[in-house]
Structure 1
Amino acid sequence: MSHNCAYVRQHYQVPAEIGRRVIAYGKPGVILADRGHYIGVVLDEDPKKRIRNYHPTHEMKYGEMAETLPLKEWLVLPFKHDWDDLDWSREAREDLVRIWAAIRSQARYKAYERLQDYCHGIRAMLHFKVRRA
């Protein structure tokens, strides 16, 4: 996953990448998202396992790569497409939404939140197809 957090690694000279353990403001967690100038971290103590933005150098200590991740990566195929319809070309891959979530239904809802400007309502989420990445 060396392509993840490439900007942060280059600009801030830190070993940030998805799956790396960190101590953010004295609390342990795992990096799970590349957020441009920030890194998305899930703290171990957070019962809802929310990804929160942290500055890569401000009170941040980097550790080893995590053995397991607190969330799973999901692929979401929106808008009445089907997995068998994809030819997996570059255009088809751009239709997929990658989401980090604990369970399938949470992945579906997070994809809806990201795509709600393109949906006519929350019922569109019912047509999303979800599977593990």
Structure 2
Amino acid sequence: MSHNCTYVRQHYQVPAEIGRRVIAYGKPGVILADRGHYIGVVLDEDPKKRISNYHPTHEMQYGDMAETLPLKEWLVLPFNHAWDDLNWNREAREDLVRVWAATRGQAKYKAYERLQDYCHSIKAMLRFKVRRA
């Protein structure tokens, strides 16, 4: 989902949006993903900076927008496309994957996880192109 928590804001009447600080079950963090009925939060104390699902109203307190985010948004272009292909190749635009990760390598792997049904092996990930969103 990439609608920046629109459903959660409308259905649960909460100010959820990507980049907002929250306190989830007493632990501070930042919303980094729209997960349909849930919000994806990275807790400040998590050294691996994993996005975990939380219900938007259960033991959740909303704060201000974060000044910096613990993860970066990346664009991953798989399947032997080039960045220039995005201007004219519809298939390349459809294959583009947006992910949140700390490093380029993590971004490639997260894109691979989403696309592994279309990849013959994990070696396909080596050809993925990555850049900051």
Give the TM-score range, shorter chain: over 0.9
- Per the TM alignment, residue 90 of structure 1 is displaced from its structure 2 partner at its CA by 6.3
Instruction: Please name the residue that 1:6 is paired with.
Output: 6
**Structure 1 residues 38-82: Cα deviation after superposition (integer angstroms, max 9, x where no partner):** 000000000000000000000000000000000000000000101
Distance 1:117 1:70, change over 3 A: same
SS in 2 for 1:118: coil
Are 2:27 and 1:19 aligned?
no
Alignment of 1:1-133 (within 5 A): 3-87=3-87, 92-133=92-133
- TM-aligned CA distance change 1:15 to 1:81, over 3 Å: same
| 1:103-123 deviation line (CA, Å, top 9, x unaligned) | 000000010011000000000
Residues 71 and 92 (structure 1 numbering): CA distance in 2 closer, same or farther, change over 3 Å?
same
Q: Report the RMSD for the aligned CA atoms in angstroms.
A: 1.3
How many residues are treated as equivalent by the alignment? 131
Q: Residue 18 and residue 80 in structure 1: after superposition, are their counterparts in 2 closer, same or farther (change >3 A)?
A: same
Moved more, 64-73 or 79-88: 79-88
* Cα 1:41–1:121 shift into 2, 3 Å: same
Q: Distance in 2 between matches of 1:62 and 1:15?
A: 7
Q: Structure 1: where are the runs of 5+ without partners? A: none
- One-letter amino acid of the counterpart of residue 117, structure 2: D
Shift of 1:89: 7.1
Question: Gapped runs of 5+ residues in structure 2?
Answer: none
Q: 1:93: Cα distance to partner? A: 3.0
Q: TM-score, normalised by structure 1?
A: 0.94
> In structure 2, what residue type is equivalent to 1:81?
H
**Cα 1:63/1:80, change in 2 over 3 Å:** same
Q: Percent identity?
A: 89
TM-score (norm 2): 0.94
